[in-house]
Amino acid sequence: MFIKLLIIIRKILRSIGKREENIKDLIILKLFQKDYQFQNLNHKDFNPYLKIINNIKVAATITFFYDKEKIINLTKVCKGLYEISNQNEIYIFTNKVFSENELELSEALRKSLKINIIQEPINNRLLPWYHINFMRKLFISRTDITHFAHLEDDILLNKNNFNYWLNSREVLKKLNLIPGFVRTEINDKDKNIYAIDFLKKNFIKNLPKIKVNDNYYFVNHKYPYQAMYLYDRDLMNEHLNSPSSNPDCGHGAYDINYLDSRMINLDLMAKANIGLTFINVPKGLHNRMVVLYSIKNNRIDKVCEIQHLSNKYANTKSSFGNIKIEEAIK
């Protein structure tokens, strides 16, 4: 009898927990709606696809746990970055490999990029964090670098993605927000594209959104993970000098003021590319990231989609990769 009672109590508490999350989301939305000037930017000429002709130089670091079979995806990632600008510099951070492996990697990439081999990492799971000090040195010594990116080795960023980020950043800078992307994969069976990090469908009416013009919203949703970050110099300066550049960020033992269960639940490697997502979040928002939403098409705009080349979540049974991109926010 006592055990049955405990089971009933547990079910009630679980139900309360679910309601608590809904109430929290409603509070965030109401806080956001209080700020009217935050909701309509009135940028009639905004065009996310507008080509930027300014002098752009991106310093990109990529974490690559050496695997011969994954070199093909890494090559595609590097090619995408060089197509954004032929001035871009790419730095590969990999774990200890034999000299013949290093030669094989260099020949496969066929570009003047630098391979940084961490000969004796404290632990392989810390490998993604070795880029931070490197970026810090670049930021200080190289004022010619306009943007900084850190990517996992299977995240394909293209020219349209980059132009969207630049155009959106100009609009969002004064609001302390960051243009975001959505990782996508193709399901081999139905050939549909899936937003792999969305665990649930989001409804546009329940989300903080900023009207850009009659064509677009910027929408702040609850699943901002994208396995990369892209920053201009202002954002990179903030990242390097804030708790986000510390592996313990989000843990109360580091700083109680930055205690955040969302960051605690991220694994150590994922935290290396979450960046400023949960740092200095404006009141009434879930995080710093927003994605472009097409009002006409009633979906996340395609320009926000970045390919996850591993294509593993949409083709395996798990909590990820179950929601089609056009249904992620409706």
188 in the same domain as 124: yes
Q: Do 207 and 243 share a domain, yes or no?
A: yes
What CATH number is given to the structural domain containing 146?
A: 3.90.550
Q: Based on the fold, state whether residues 157 and 204 are members of the same structural domain.
A: yes
Residues 62 and 14 in one domain: no
How far is the C-alpha of 330 from the C-alpha of 305, rounded, in Å?
A: 16
Q: What is the pLDDT along the chain (330 residues), one digit of tens a residue?
A: 555 664 565 666 566 655 667 777 888 888 888 876 667 888 899 999 998 877 899 999 999 998 889 999 999 999 999 999 888 999 999 987 766 677 777 776 766 678 888 877 778 889 999 999 999 999 999 999 999 999 999 999 999 999 999 999 999 999 999 999 999 999 999 999 999 999 999 999 999 999 999 999 999 999 999 999 999 999 999 999 999 999 988 887 777 877 888 888 888 899 999 999 999 999 899 999 999 999 999 999 999 999 999 999 999 999 999 999 999 999
Q: Which residue, 181, 183, 173, 182, is CA-closest to 232? A: 173
- Exposure string over 97-116, b if 16+ CB within 10 A, otherwise e: beeeebeebeeebeeebeee
Q: What gap in Å lies between CA 84 and CA 159, rounded to an integer?
A: 5
**Is 90 in the same domain as 124?**
yes
Distance CA 195, CA 299 (A): 12
Same domain, 210 and 145: yes
- Domain membership of residue 274 (yes or no) is yes
Q: For residue 188, give the nearest of 303, 316, 318 by alpha carbon.
A: 316
Angle of helix 71-84 relative to helix 99-109, nearest 10 degrees, comes to 40
Determine contact, residues 77/153, Cβ cutoff 8 Å. yes
Report the C-alpha dihedral over residues 79, 85, 87, 93, rounded to 10 degrees: -40
Residues 6+ apart with CB under 8 A from 290: 172, 177, 178, 179, 180, 210, 218, 219, 220
Judge whether 286 lies within some domain.
yes
Can you read off the two tokens belonging to residue 41? Answer: 């930017």
The answer to whether residue 52 sits within a structural domain is no
**What is the separation, in whole angstroms, between the first and last Cα of the chain?**
45
Name the residue type at position 263. M
- Supply the range of the domain harboring residue 17: 2-34
- Position 38 scores a pLDDT of 65
Same domain? For 174 and 322 the reply is yes
* Whether pTM exceeds 0.85: yes
pLDDT of residue 6: 46
The token pair at 92 is: 């590969």
Indicate if 135 and 244 belong to the same structural domain. yes
Whether 138 and 24 share a structural domain: no
Q: Residue 295: inside a domain, yes or no?
A: yes
Same domain (yes/no): 17, 66: no
Is residue 318 in a domain?
Answer: yes
168, 243: one domain: yes
Count how many Cα atoms sit within 13 Å of the Cα of residue 199 in the half-sphere of its side chain. Answer: 6
Distances (CA, A) of 312 to 9, 300, 303, 309, 328: 38, 22, 22, 8, 18
Cβ atoms 275, 289 nearer than 8 A:
no
Phi (first) and psi of residue 300, to 5 degrees:
-60, 130
Output the CA torsion 194→197→198→199 (10° steps): 110
Q: Rounded to whole angstroms, how far apart are CA atoms 97 and 127?
A: 13
Nearest to 181 by CA among 167, 165, 169: 165
**Domain count across the chain:** 2
